[in-house]
Amino acid sequence: MKKILLTIMAIATLFACKSDDEINQNNPNYPNAFVQLSLNLNLPEYNNLRFPGGSFITTTQGTKGVVVYNVNNDLYTAFELTDPNHPPSTCSRMTLNGIITSCSCGDGNTYDVVTGSHQTDENLFPMTQYRIVKNGNTLRITN
């Protein structure tokens, strides 16, 4: 009986899971840029990422750049810096102020860099999140 119950629970869990990309699959603005970063936290250029609340931005990866944020030294987030609710353009590149990112397209879109969610309208697309894995003092960011 336990085996049957465990099997049913395992199957239900598999069907309940969504892939990371399903959230943005219907987004016509979804940036499909290749991202592969390896950040060694021992290097001085990544010093901000060694402390909670610290961030690092690179414009060499992603569509308009990638922001990496240290939530609590165990949890890090990485997001695309293109506003997901605009086609990539000169105004769609977002800037970071604290934990809030915003674009300059004039519509007031702001997002939380910890969760990626839009600050005022839950019906808008969230920021595009990249996978991030910490191994020792190295952060590996990929899509």
How would you class 20 by CB atoms within 10 Å of its CB: exposed for 0-12, middle for 13-18, buried for 19 or more?
A: exposed
Q: Could you report the per-residue pLDDT of 58-83, keeping only the tens digit for each?
A: 999 999 999 999 999 999 999 999 99
Q: What does the pLDDT average to over 117-143?
A: 94
What is the residue type of 90?
A: T
Q: For residue 115, which phi and psi values (nearest 5 degrees)? A: -105, -25
Identify the pLDDT of residue 33. 84
CATH number of 30-142, picked from 2.102.10.10, 3.10.20.30, 2.60.40.10, 2.50.20.10: 2.102.10.10
In this prediction the pTM is: 0.81
Pairing label, strands 100-102, 76-80: unpaired
What is the domain partition of the chain in residue ranges? 30-142
Q: Could you report the per-residue pLDDT of 35-64, keeping only the tens digit for each?
A: 999 999 999 999 999 999 999 999 999 999
Only one residue has tokens 């894995």, namely 133
Question: Who contacts 142 (Cβ-Cβ below 8 Å, separation ≥6)?
Answer: 35, 36, 37, 130, 131
